[in-house]
């Protein structure tokens, strides 16, 4: 389960402090997403996964074109978590199968968030 938690850390953009955004609607939604996932640690909690999935879907629609594919990866990952319905074995398998893509997408989203929206992520 540690591997899954590490993926959440990469994807959540919530490890740090969110500051004022300068990129319009997307940045506002990114800030809301950061707040929603601030304490997201349990990949097996269906209610929380659903809430985060809703935020990811919003961001997927409003994101800059160069991040559409990255947010699609995140959306697919959250959909997989929703489909797992809290089953730890399914969550672990999803993390194993999707981990590299989710990590790469999370890094791209985090970098753009920092550069464009002033989203600061603590290490």
How many Å apart are CA 113 and CA 86, to the nearest integer?
A: 29
CA dihedral (36, 15, 6, 1) in degrees, to 10, reads -50
What are 69's two structure tokens?
A: 């594919």
The pLDDT of residue 50:
86
The pLDDT of residue 3:
52
Q: Are 92 and 4 in contact (CB under 8 A)?
A: yes
The pLDDT of residue 123:
33
Q: Are 112 and 67 in contact (CB under 8 A)?
A: yes
The pLDDT of residue 120:
58
Reading the chain (123 residues) residue by residue, the pLDDT tens digits are 545 544 554 454 333 333 344 446 888 888 877 777 777 778 888 888 888 888 888 888 889 999 999 999 999 999 999 999 999 999 999 999 999 999 999 889 888 888 988 875 433
What are 24's two structure tokens?
A: 């319009």
Query: What's the whole-model pTM score?
Result: 0.76
The pLDDT of residue 27:
87
How many Å apart are CA 83 and CA 18, to the nearest integer?
A: 30
Task: Please choose, from the candidates 85, 51, 56, the residue with its C-alpha nearest in 3D space to the C-alpha of residue 71.
Answer: 56
């Amino acid at each position: 389960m540690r591997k899954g938690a590490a993926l959440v850390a990469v994807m959540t953009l919530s490890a740090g402090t969110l500051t004022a955004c300068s990129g319009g609607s997307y940045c506002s939604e990114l800030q809301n997403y950061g707040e929603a996932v601030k304490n997201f640690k349990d990949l097996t909690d269906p209610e929380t996964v659903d809430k985060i999935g809703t935020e990811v879907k919003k961001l997927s629609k409003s994101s800059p074109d160069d991040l559409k594919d990255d947010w699609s990866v995140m959306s697919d990952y959250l959909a997989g978590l929703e489909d797992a319905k809290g089953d730890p074995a399914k969550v672990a398998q999803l993390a194993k199968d999707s981990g590299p893509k989710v990590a790469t997408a999370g890094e791209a989203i985090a970098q753009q968030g920092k550069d464009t929206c002033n989203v600061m992520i603590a290490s």
